[in-house]
Each structure stands twice: as structure tokens, then as C-alpha cells.
Amino acid sequence: MSSRSPANLQRILVAHATAIEAVVRCYVEDEMDRDDLRQEIAIAVWRALPRFLGESSERTYVVRIAQNRAISFRLRLARNRALFNDLGDDDVAIGSQSGEYDLRRAYSQVMDAMTKLPTAQHDVLSLSAAGYSPRQIASHTGRSAGAIRVALHRARETVRRMLGRSTSGREDGSHG
């Protein structure tokens, strides 16, 4: 992969497009932001080509670059939103009767909770949400499938706690 030619970059981006797209979709919701992130990933892969030593698979190297760019991109988006935060009351105009507002609010709460997770938990939960199996995540990260299942369980439990939901089933402690 070390050749820094446009043809080699194109080959790499095409060969790993599915994995890159999974990372992009895990970290960014807005389509225009996704386009920006894809471009940043392509530039980062281009810059990293000479440093690839073959110590991992080409796919693993590209996915790690994509994840690192996505994390930086997501943090930059969060900082910008914090600086230029709208009043936020516009969402209320949607109306609670449709349920759309409730879904947006729940989605927002889950995404906020996920951003507070440790990076390792965030990454495995994001990949799982993108449809990857624990075995596939293990091959991406170099960990065992069992370790990934444990990390997924812990990440889900942490998100549930952050959202104030019971991890044992019902809030009142009953099971039926």
C-alpha cells in the first residue's frame, strides 16, 4: 500500500469502500457532513500511504484511519454546535402527536450518551449498530470475538445507565 500514486489511492478507496462507509454512517448523520468526512478520510489515507508497514492488513489500517478521522470530525462538529447552538425550540414545533419529536429526542439522547463512552466501547457499539457481527468487529480491532461481546454488553449497559433505564428489565424490579 505504500505507493502514493493516485491509482493506488483509488484502488484502496474502492477496495475498502464498504468499511469506510460503515464508519462514516456510524459517526455522522447529515449527508453533507458525510461527504465532508469521506473527503477527509481519503486525504488522510493518501497522507498515510507512505507510513503503511504491512504490520496489519490493509483493511485494518484503512479502517483505523477512517475511525480516527471520524472521531476528530465528530468532535469538531460537537464543538461547532456548542459554539453556534440554536435555541433548540424549533424541534418542539414538529409536534409530539406524530411521535417524530419523541423519536428525535430519544435518538439524540442515545447519541449523546454514546459520545460519552470510552473510545473502545463507542467504536464496538458503533460497528455493531452498523450491522457488523462480533466476529467481524474482532477482525477489525484485533481482539477476540468473546472480548468484543463483553465490550458490547458493557457499552450497552453503560448507555442504559446514562439514560436512566433499568438494566435488569423493569424499573420496579418485577420481571413479569
Q: Residue 1's pLDDT is what?
A: 54
Q: Residue 39's pLDDT is what?
A: 95
Q: Residue 133's pLDDT is what?
A: 84
Predicted confidence pLDDT, tens digits, the chain (176 residues): 557 788 989 999 999 999 999 999 988 888 999 999 999 999 999 999 999 888 889 999 999 999 999 988 988 887 777 666 554 444 444 444 445 666 677 777 877 888 888 888 888 888 887 778 888 888 878 889 899 899 888 888 888 888 886 444 444 444 44
Class at the top of the CATH hierarchy for domain 96-164: mainly alpha
- Close Cβ partners of 19 (under 8 Å, ≥ 6 residues apart): 59, 62, 63, 66, 140
Q: Residue 2's pLDDT is what?
A: 55
Please report where in the chains the cell 477476540 appears, as a residue.
144
Distance between CA atoms of residues 149 and 102, nearest Å: 30
- 81, 108 in Cβ contact below 8 A? no
Q: Residue 76's pLDDT is what?
A: 85
Q: Residue 100's pLDDT is what?
A: 63
Please state the domain extents for the chain. Answer: 1-85, 96-164
Fold exhibited by the domain 1-85: Rna Polymerase Sigma Factor; Chain: A (1.10.1740)
